[in-house]
Structure formats: structure tokens, C-alpha cells
Amino acid sequence: MMAAVAAEWLKLRSLRSNLGLLALSALPVLLCAGIAYMVVRGFDRQTGDDLLRFESLGTGLGTGLPVAYFLMAAAGTLSITSEHATGMIGTSLVAVPRRQVFLFAKIPALAAVTLVIGQLLVFCMHVATMAVVGERAGHVLIDGRTLGLSLADPGVTAELLVAGAAMPLAAMTGLGLGAAIRSAAGTLVTLIVLMFVLPIVAQALPSPMGPRIASYMFENLPAQIASGDGVLAPPVAGALLLAHPVAALTAGAVAIAARGRGVRPLLAGGLPAALLAGTAVVAPGAAASSALSWRPCGESLECASVQVPVDWSKQDGRTVTIQVARLPATGAHRVMGTVLAVPGGPGGDGVEDLRDKGGAFATLRQRFHVVSLAPRNTTDLGVIPFDCLATGPWITLPADRAAYDRVGARNRKYAEECRAADPEYFDHLDSASVARDIDAIRAALGEPRLSLVATSYGGVVATTYARLFPDRVRALYIDGSIDHQADQETRLRHRTAAVEQQFARFVEWCKTATACALNGRDAGAAWRGLVAAADRSPVPVRGSDTAYSGFDFKVAAAPDVISPGPAPDFPNWQRFARSIDRATAGDASGFADLVEQVTKSLKVPSFRGQNVTQCADGLMFADYGEFRRLKALGERLSPNFAGNELWHRLGCVGWPTPVGNPPAPMPADRLPPILGAGTWTDHGDVATAAARVPGSATIRYEGPGHALYLSGNQCVIAHANRYLTYLRLPPAGAACEPLQP
């Protein structure tokens, strides 16, 4: 056998066709560089969100890899067919009478040469591609991948090594087919069909069928082995990759043995080939087993329900039904798990979020199921009358202890009206109870861990879940959330700074915008003058007996100040300016009309549906002394909106139920790093919440708004998808810019 191997090594070195193939090995490198050049040219011509929609070049092997595999397979083919073409086969079989020994003696030398050349090729292809792409490689795309990958990126070296290690397998496939067909031309045509024609046909088929069929092709198997996130599991992809040369060599051995009247190679090689190929058929999927009975409930949406205890400390007691919705995964890849979207509010409905804004998850659904819920504190759930939860008392800013106590008495009266409908249920609407409901959903889904996407107040629920069930959190993305653990002073500083900065932007806009009703005047002075005058003598709402104090104006105006609407017109700022102008003339209807459209009340009420959760989560003043201290601090920090940030907390004064979910630290050492995202007005809160876990990061959106992912902000979605899919965080200081109009 050793003599036969040595002879084959000599033949391989002397075969002229191999020199030609060696020269052609530069072709895959040039192809990779050329494709990268065309992609870069197109990339450089795009702006804004269009830059996010490119396909990733990945490791840069792309089109060059199947060409490289073909060249290696051709080398294997020519090592046997050249002997048939020259008639040397007869001499070789005289020297090595055992035909299967003759065939398999070619493998060691062929494998060694193609392994070395193959590894050099894949690294050259990678380097050539990345040299062309340059710094653009790190640009994050909408699917969470980057335009290119460097050797420093996780998994890249492994993918290149596996791709190079597959080169000898391609060569052995060519060797086996060449032995079976005996014609160089016929074998090369067969290889062209296997390595080029069939993959192109598969790509032309509709998704997900096309990508699934393509995943079985030789060229796509190495990446699935290395990355583990392909259509096929790594063991299955590995078995299929080995099945190619085993099946080809079996066919070649059978052909040679048949001509020599032997049959044992068929038994020796056919059985392993069948077993390896069969692995792909019988391998179990990785999808979790769900106990939920899903039913269609809208376009692409599926619904189910989960029974949970009203009081989680009494799990054998009364239960309540939680509605759950799912946008099922749509991609050809194996499902990586479930992303659970936690709605904001408190009182928001995640089922309706998926129904109305589910398009934001379109790319993420290539890899995940997306699930949400209508939490137990959803205001229109029906257990407690919606009309009760959706209204509440008007809040005034107390001037002294007696006024503070009157606010508390009024709050208590209104809260007791709602509580009377169902005291047990009312007392368990805190975020910890919602978090435990989410864990019940996780268990029903059969998922060991969840990836959480939390919007606005949903961040309190999500961080509470992380505190209660840290080992069941795979990833945690918080968007526009508050920091539940922050002390009152920190929270006040963040919020007052945000609203003051936004008000300053409004004033600057008014100086140059003719659409501003205060253009040509000092808008800041006009606002402060209105507030001061209203505190002395409230401004009436025409046609009613309601009048606005300065505090009422601040509470009513804050939403328009914080969220001006689309640039460059900023319609909400235009409305704010008109309302100031009208109120300065003695009519507060501009503010009251807007408030009434949203709340059915002429002034902003303290919503009991929100308070029932916020108060139970401990977001309240400890006592009158803390209220006075924070009120004084706000007056120093916020010359234009002092008192506005106290409004929510004032709604909890006198609240009749105990705190069920007091702020408490998360076990940071047991949690993955958090990704946050925030706008001009909520970035500070989000950043401090995320920083509770070391190694976390927060994206800053350099513009107004709230709830960036559900709003469809493509830049933020790209970063979030990268984190949720690959657990990769953006660098410190990552920012997203608004699109230019």
C-alpha cells in the first residue's frame, strides 16, 4: 500500500494539468475581490436606510468558494481520468492489481495537496474581499449582520478553516466521480451541474423552499458546520459534507470493482454513505415543544391563551386568562428561539402591538418567533371596567402639607372606586406579577430562555423579570424605558434635563420658522410669561368652567414639546406655538382641545390604569418631605417646566394598596449584557438602566421620539437585531442619526 501511495504522489507532481489548475486557483481570489468591488461601488452610492438593506459579504468567500471547490474536484477528477485518457490505467493496474487499493492510494497525496492549497485559497479570498471593503465592513445591516467580517470577529477563523478543510473532500468527490465515469469531460460536466447549476436553480426557487434546498449543496455546508445557525444543524451539515466524497468514492470503487468482478467496495462504502446521507433526514429539529394551541387571529398572527394565578403566592387559587399572540418565524433557517415583546404603558396591549406594528419584526422573524401578551394590567382587559381605569382625578401641584394631603385623599377615593370592582385583582397588577406571567408563557412555549424586547414602561417589567429569573434571560433589549432602580433625584435630573433641552430646540426653531406662531418674538419668554400669569390667575377654557393653571399648562404641553413630529415641519411644535399664542390672549382651548381628544377630559387626568401599576411598583414619594425636596430641586433645574416631572408621582399620593414590586437590584453577574436605545428625551434613563449590568451598551438616537424599534427606526432595528441574533453589542457611543428630509 505504501508503495502505491508513493507512486501516486509522483504521478500527482508530474501531471501537467495540475499546473494549470494551480494557475487557475487565482480565479476565486479575483472573483471575490471583483464581487466586493461591485458591492462597495453600490454601497457608496446609497444613503440613509438604503445602506442597511445590503446583503452581507460575510467572510468574503462568496462566489469564489464554489469555483475553488470545483478546481479541487477537477484536480481529483484528472488524477484518475488522465490515466484512462493516456492508457496508463492498464500499466497502473498491473503494478497494483488490487483495484480498490489503486483507487484509494490516490487519496493521501491528493488530500494533503488540496488541503494546503485550499487553506491558502480561503484565507486569500477573505483577505482580498476585506481589503476592497475596508472600513465599510463594520457597517451594521438590517438583519444584524455587518457588511463584512474580519478575522477578529467570532467564528470567522473557524469558518475559514472549515471551508479550507472541505477542499480535500471536494477533491475526493471528483476522484470518485472520475473513477465511476472515466471520462474527464463527462466528470467535469457532472461537477459543473453539482456545484453551479443546481445551486443556481435552488436560489431561483421561492423562499423558504429555495434556501432550504440550497443548504444541502456542497458549497453551503462548511459555513453551517462552523456557525451553527444555518438551516441544518452542524452535525447534520457535517454528515452531509462527508457523504459527498463517501458516496462518490463508493461509486468509483463499485465501477472499478465491477470491471474486476468485485463487489465488496459496494458493501464497504455504500453503507456509510447511506447512513451519513440519512442523518439529514432523520435528525430531529431544534424547535421547542409548545404546550399552547395556536389559532389564526389575523394576517400572519396566531393567538393562544395561558391561565395564571391572580395571586402568585397562592398558585392553587383563582386564575386569570392571559391572551398571547405570535408572529411565527418565516425564514428558512432553524428557529433560534422566541423573542418576547413586552408592551409599554403601563396598560399597553402587546397583542395589538403585534397586530399594528408587527412589520418592525419582519427581519427578526427570519430567525425567531415573536410573541407578546395582553398583560394583566391592560386597561381594556375587562376585569376592572375600562371607564374606571381610563380616567382619574385632575392633579394639582400642592403648595403645602394640607394641599398634599388633599391630593392623597382625592387619589384614594378614585382608586377605591376601581378597586371595589375586584379587590384581589386590583391588588396584583404590579410588574412582578406580570413578569411571573411572562415566565408562565415561557414555560408553555417550551423555551429554556427568552430574548426580551421591552418598550417604554415594559422595561420595568423586563428588568423585573431579569431580577426574578436571571438564568432564563438570553438577551434583553430595552427601548425608551425608565430605570426602575434609579432614585427619585436621578430620575428627576434626567427628565428635567431632557425636557429643557427639547424646549430650547423649540425656541431656536421658532426664531427661523415662519410656521411658528411666535416667530419674531421670544418664544421662551412668551411661554414663561404665560405660565407665571396662569399661576396668578388661571386661564379659562372658552365655553367651559375649566381654567388652566401654570402647572396644568406644563403637563398638557410636555408631550408636544418632547415629540415635535416629523421634520422639517414639526407639526406638534406648530400646534404648541399656536396654543401659547391663543392662551396668552386669554383662551386655553388650544391645550384643552388636544387633551380632550386624547383623554376625553379638558385637563390631563391622573390615569388610574397607569397608577395601579406604577404605584404598586414603588414609583412614588416616600412622604411629603421628599416631595418638597424634589419640588425645590425641579425649580432650580427646570425654569420652564418645573413641577411637570412630579405629576406621575403625585398620582400615587394616598394610594390604598401596598407596594408589590419595590425597586431592587438585578443579579448582574448572572445576566447577559443589556442593549438599550433612547432618543434625546429618554436616553439618560435607558442608559442608567442598562448600565446596571456591566458590559451593557445604549444606542443614542440623535432626534426626538419614543419606542424606536416599534416605530420602525431602521438604524436602531439593525443594531437591536444584531444583538438579539448574534448577541453582539455596538461599540460605546453608538448613535443613529435621523434621516434627512
- Predicted pLDDT of residue 266: 43
C-alpha cell at 305: 391563551
Q: Is 90 exceeded by the pLDDT of residue 70?
A: yes
Q: Report residue 678: phi and psi, to 5°.
A: -150, 160
Same domain, 587 and 703: no
Same domain, 47 and 13: yes
Same domain, 82 and 188: yes
Count of domains for the chain: 3
Q: Report residue 304: phi and psi, to 5°.
A: -155, -175
Maximum average pLDDT range among 286-300, 330-344, 715-729: 715-729
- Strands 539-540, 547-548: pairing is antiparallel
- Predicted pLDDT of residue 210: 86
Separation CA 292–CA 426 (nearest Å): 27
Residue 556 near residue 527, CB atoms below 8 Å: no
- Predicted pLDDT of residue 272: 45
Position 68 confidence tier, pLDDT thresholds 50, 70, 90: very high
Residue 503 counted as domain residue: yes
Helical segments of 60-192, H only? 64-86, 88-95, 99-104, 106-133, 156-181, 184-192
C-alpha cell at 440: 408562565
Q: What is the pLDDT of residues 541-579, one digit of tens each?
A: 999 999 999 999 999 999 999 999 988 899 999 999 999
- Predicted pLDDT of residue 600: 86
Q: Is 70 exceeded by the pLDDT of residue 89?
A: no
Residue 104 is part of which domain span? 2-204
- Predicted pLDDT of residue 741: 61
Per-residue pLDDT, averaged over 679-695, amounts to 95
Q: What one-character DSSP code corresponds to residue 61?
A: -
By mean pLDDT, which of 8-17, 118-127, 556-565 is the weakest? 8-17
Same domain, 44 and 169: yes
Helix (H, G, I), strand (E, B) or coil at 303: strand
Separation CA 646–CA 396 (nearest Å): 10
Same domain, 518 and 441: no
Single out the residue in 204, 236, 267 at which a domain terminates.
204
**Mean pLDDT, the chain, whole residue set:** 89
Q: Please report, as a single letter, which amino acid is at residue 128.
A: A
- Count Cβ atoms below 10 Å from residue 336 Cβ, excluding itself: 22
Which pTM value belongs to this model? 0.89
Single out the residue in 173, 204, 235 at which a domain terminates.
204
Q: What is the pLDDT of residues 439-479, one digit of tens each?
A: 999 999 999 999 999 999 999 999 999 999 999 999 999 99
Residue 638 counted as domain residue: no
- Predicted pLDDT of residue 262: 46
Separation CA 41–CA 697 (nearest Å): 32
The full length of the chain comes to 741
- Count Cβ atoms below 10 Å from residue 459 Cβ, excluding itself: 30
Residue 255 counted as domain residue: no
Q: Please report, as a single letter, which amino acid is at residue 484.
A: H
Q: Is 90 exceeded by the pLDDT of residue 252?
A: no
Give burial (CB, 10 Å; 0-12/13-18/19+) of 357.
middle
Per-residue pLDDT, averaged over 519-532, amounts to 97
Same domain, 512 and 478: no
Contacts of 19 (CB under 8 A, 6+ apart): none
Separation CA 221–CA 241 (nearest Å): 6
Same domain, 477 and 347: yes
- Count Cβ atoms below 10 Å from residue 2 Cβ, excluding itself: 8
Residue 41 counted as domain residue: yes
Residue 327 counted as domain residue: yes
Write out the DSSP string of 397-448: --SSHHHHHHHHHHHHHHHHHHHTT-HHHHTT-SHHHHHHHHHHHHHHHT-S
- Predicted pLDDT of residue 616: 96
Contacts of 627 (CB under 8 A, 6+ apart): 398, 404, 621, 646, 649, 650, 653
Same domain, 471 and 504: no
- Strands 697-701, 675-678: pairing is parallel
Same domain, 473 and 505: no
Same domain, 479 and 514: no
Same domain, 29 and 123: yes
Q: Is 90 exceeded by the pLDDT of residue 628?
A: yes
- Predicted pLDDT of residue 332: 83
Q: Report residue 598: phi and psi, to 5°.
A: -90, -40
Residue 470 near residue 672, CB atoms below 8 Å: no
Position 275 confidence tier, pLDDT thresholds 50, 70, 90: very low
C-alpha cell at 499: 425636557
Residue 436 counted as domain residue: yes
Which CATH number is 686's domain given? 3.40.50.1820
Same domain, 80 and 154: yes
Residue 387 counted as domain residue: no
Residue 127 counted as domain residue: yes
Q: Report residue 677: phi and psi, to 5°.
A: -145, 135
